[in-house]
A and B are shown apart, each in its own frame.
Chain A
Amino acid sequence: QQQVKQSPQSLIVQKGGISIINCAYENTAFDYFPWYQQFPGKGPALLIAIRPDVSEKKEGRFTISFNKSAKQFSLHIMDSQPGDSATYFCAASKGSSWGKLQFGAGTQVVVTP
């Protein structure tokens, strides 16, 4: 059973547009929520992460929005670029779990020129 549910499975956005990926979780013990970016043939790489004591974190064109009461968090990619075309995974972990990550199923993002 997927502990972290991610949607949509895929999305296509025009260059300059906004990409939005959503994730939901059930386990209220989760206290760390990273997003990973994966290019074809490569391993995932950390993009941005948030803890539940803040509602938003921004790094460049990437923003995480976090809603603790709804147990949801989302990734917004502003001014999307063709180089952002990749698969994005949300994940969650709890401090007592030796860093073990529960991953969402992934979202394939395609940015058209």
Chain B
Amino acid sequence: NAGVTQTPKFRILKIGQSMTLQCTQDMNHNYMYWYRQDPGMGLKLIYYSVGAGITDKGEVPNGYNVSRSTTEDFPLRLELAAPSQTSVYFCASRAQGAQETQYFGPGTRLLVL
């Protein structure tokens, strides 16, 4: 199993550009999450999904969108990139059930200039 994979590993965007961060998991997990990590701030939840076709906002959703058309894929879309979106983005997945472990991908480092 590859676990949770994310692409790209690193990207530089210009202000106003758009991009999609890709996330795929091969563990057949129902739950998937997108977090952003900023220095000294821990991880903040952007969006999450509890199954194909079902998504909901997390703590910091502004400027982002998601979709979940399959169990495996959970892409994160940035529209009109802003410098405040410079961060490291992590995707995670988890099996359904109480207190199951969240498995994280390797992250995507995004720089908006």
Contacts and interface: CB of A to CB of B under 8 A. Distances in A.
Main secondary structure of the interface of A (DSSP, over half): loop
Contacts of B98: 32, 95
A73 to B, nearest CB: 15
21 contacts: A2-B42, A4-B42, A9-B40, A32-B99, A42-B106, A43-B90, A43-B92, A43-B104, A43-B105, A46-B103, A89-B42, A98-B48, A98-B50, A99-B102, A100-B45, A100-B48, A101-B43, A101-B102, A103-B35, A103-B42, A103-B43
Interface of A: 2, 4, 6, 9, 31-32, 34, 36, 41-46, 49, 51, 89, 93, 95, 98-101, 103-106
Interface residues of B, number: 27
B24 to A, nearest CB: 14
